[in-house]
A and B are shown apart, each in its own frame.
Chain A
């Protein structure tokens, strides 16, 4: 088993996420828009904003990750590329996980890198920025992995975007809970460890579910 198919899966998925214009910009715009609306809806008092800021960012990040998930597998089902992936000797689960991670690199990672800007805007103390970014990065991976399972399940459904959201959101709970706790506790607490554990769990379990769902979609 060589690594070439895996690397190709990553490359093609990244190119696909990028292509069609607005590949990485769409979730970014959604994320920025959500964050910008917050001060208008809750008021611009610094105390209020700094209290809810990290939680709002966390929520916006979770929702923004849903924006692109529809595109991870749906095109493959429609254009027949999935049939070719299924017939490889490589495990479909690994291929699916790699494709999902490629999408995370293109449309999830930029969000993490941009969070400091919005965090400052929402009055998050500057000392909390780095731990917050780490938590967002960890949590983002688990959002994408569970979202990938939902995307694989909804791959053969036309306009499955909303279905993906419905399927994925319950699985976001652990990362949401531990992530929000980690933002309060900082790097020294146990919550960040639980967040890391929930991400590891998603990396271990989600690929198998994606593989099974895609096999079903190809059948």
Chain B
């Protein structure tokens, strides 16, 4: 799996209204790598990630993905009435996951709040629930948008470990981030 290109963005551009966010951006990630997208607020990190995920069509350039990917966006994808357990079991069934839910909840230290509706959870707990989706099915590419947001120190350490383990298994990560990062990056792309 090492050395296979998992996603390749060629000469990507994004236009918002009459403003060019970025142009001519090349991104390529291989198994085992972690690429950080850097840039000030509004530079287009999220837009670039969405283009790589296939959620947005790039105005110019092309994206080629060779495998499945996980998407952790800015919004967690949780409904207000949904509990972490319900959320994870829902997507586990959608994706045909064989993962054991109690183990995933335990890994994310979400066992105690597992049955609390998400409107009563803290921002960090919601984020942990969303990140739990990464453990449901094995997918080579993780696309993460500011994944460390709202996480406490323990949560940040947990996510770094998850990312490292994923890379050791030959997976790759592309992540938009600002500030200090608790993971070792292979490359940075600055917008």
Contacts and interface: CB of A to CB of B under 8 A. Distances in A.
A84 B79 contact: no
B61 to A, nearest CB: 16
Contact of B90 (A12, A83, A86, A219): A12
A200 interface: no
Secondary structure at the B interface, as helix, strand, loop or mixed, is loop
Interface in B53-108: 53-57, 69, 71, 73-81, 90-91, 93-96
Contacts of B93: 4-5, 7-8
B94 A79 contact: no
A41 interface: no
A75 interface: yes
Contacts of A88: 94
Given A4-B94, A84-B91, A86-B55, A20 B81 contact: yes
Contacts of A15: 81
For the side of the interface on B, what is the size category? 20 to 34
A79 B82 CA distance: 12
A75 B79 contact: yes
Interface of B: 53-57, 69, 71, 73-81, 90-91, 93-96
Interface of A: 2, 4-5, 7-9, 11-12, 15-16, 19-20, 75, 78-81, 83-84, 86-88, 218-219
Given A80-B75, A218-B55, 14 more contacts: A4-B96, A9-B94, A15-B81, A19-B81, A20-B81, A75-B79, A79-B75, A80-B73, A81-B77, A83-B71, A83-B75, A84-B91, A86-B55, A219-B57
